[in-house]
């Protein structure tokens, strides 16, 4: 059972890897290699899937924490922050897309910046909690 206490660490590592891959390799490569008219539909498909996958991993982490009684509160807090932040990102996707489609650049920038900020917070939280 002791090994199962480490599942939240593994899941945080997966979350970190997914976010790093998406923002450092996938998105920049798409912007560089794909025509701009095709970039939007691709990213509109990929980012919600990223958010849903990270939400799922954070919920699995929460279940392991609950059922296997991880004594440290840091993974609990990290998993909760991750679940809430990524759910927020997922929920605002339609509004972000609608703002972009309607040409409301001000609203688009606010929603997109919110999504980016929350994703960075999730990255930092998942990188940092293992040290507490």
Contact 19, 123 (CB under 8 A): yes
What pTM was estimated for this model as a whole?
A: 0.91
Structural domain tally of the chain?
1
The span from the CA of 47 to the CA of 108, in Å, is 15
* pLDDT at 1 (0 to 100): 53
For residue 87, pLDDT over 90 is answered with: yes
Task: Give residue 104's domain range.
Answer: 2-131
Structure tokens at 87: 């759910």
Average pLDDT, the chain: 93
Crossing angle of the two packed helices 36-68 and 7-21, in degrees rounded to 10: 170
For residue 72, pLDDT over 90 is answered with: no
Which DSSP symbol is given to 25? I
């Amino acid at each position: 059972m002791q090994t199962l206490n480490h599942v939240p660490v593994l899941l945080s590592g997966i979350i970190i890897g997914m976010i790093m891959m998406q923002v450092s390799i996938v998105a920049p490569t798409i912007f560089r290699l794909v025509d701009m008219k095709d970039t939007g539909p691709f990213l509109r498909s990929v980012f919600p899937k990223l958010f849903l996958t990270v939400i799922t991993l954070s919920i699995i982490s929460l279940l392991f924490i609950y059922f296997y009684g991880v004594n440290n509160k840091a993974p609990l807090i990290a998993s909760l922050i991750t679940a809430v932040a990524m759910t927020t990102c997922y929920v605002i996707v339609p509004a972000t897309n609608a703002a972009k489609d309607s040409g409301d650049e001000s609203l688009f920038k606010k929603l997109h910046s919110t999504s980016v900020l929350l994703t960075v917070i999730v990255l930092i939280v998942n990188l940092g909690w293992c040290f507490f």
